Chain A
Amino acid sequence: DAKTTQPTSMDCAEGRAANLPCNHSTISGNEYVYWYRQIHSQGPQYIIHGLKNNETNEMASLIITEDRKSSTLILPHATLRDTAVYYCTGGYQKVTFGTGTKLQVIP
């Protein structure tokens, strides 16, 4: 599985875009990049995934660099309910969570 590096924490003003970076320089060519989040003590929640192209769904957008060594998760209009720990992971099957980025959305 790819080793990932994320900032420990970030703040974002409510209503603004939250951009969460992730480095995954060891990801192999056929491994998808996945993002999950954990809100407080709930179970982790799937957000989005991608391989090479940028992706968008109802929750977020995912920008993957051309060399696939890094990606950015974008929450276009962060709300207080988006306060959570965000995890990026590469690989297949079992999820390696790491420490993630603790995003605090500020009113």
Chain B
Amino acid sequence: EAGVTQFPSHSVIEKGQTVTLRCDPISGHDNLYWYRRVMGKEIKFLLHFVKESKQDESGMPNNRFLAERTGGTYSTLKVQPAELEDSGVYFCASSQTWSGRETQYFGPGTRLLVL
């Protein structure tokens, strides 16, 4: 069974440019999460999709970040325009909920560097 995949693995862009990150969850997983770690800080939650709906977007830092999950399959996270402080590693995770428990499976991450 394929795990969570993320694309690209690395991205280097200049301040003010736009970058789109993609996450393909494990097939059949309704839940999809985005997290990120900026340098020297803890991994922080960004948002949570259940199928195509945003369940919780309380962790999104500002309106330069836009996440979508059209059709409830893969998800994209767009940063427009990118700022220096957006540099970090962006992780995606997916899960299926049952009986009040939920194990999340994480992708390898996308390393974003904004210059």
Contact = CB atoms under 8 A, between A and B. Distances in A.
A49 B97 CA distance: 14
B45 A41 contact: no
B85 interface: no
A44 interface: yes
B100 A95 contact: no
B74 interface: no
Give the bracket for the number of chain A residues in contact with chain B.
20 to 34
Given A41-B89, A44-B91, A92 B100 contact: yes
Interface stretch (A19-27, A68-76, A96-104): A96-104
Given A93-B56, A98-B42, A44 B106 contact: yes
B109 interface: yes
Nearest to A34: B103
Interface string A29-72: 01010101010011111100101000000000000000000000
- Going nearest first, the 9 A-B pairs with the smallest beta carbon separation are A43-B106, A97-B43, A94-B45, A44-B106, A43-B108, A32-B101, A46-B103, A43-B107, A43-B109
13 contacts: A30-B100, A36-B104, A36-B106, A42-B109, A43-B107, A44-B91, A44-B93, A93-B56, A93-B102, A94-B33, A94-B45, A95-B45, A97-B43
Interface of B: 4, 31, 33, 35, 42-45, 48, 55-56, 59, 89, 91, 93, 97, 100-109, 111
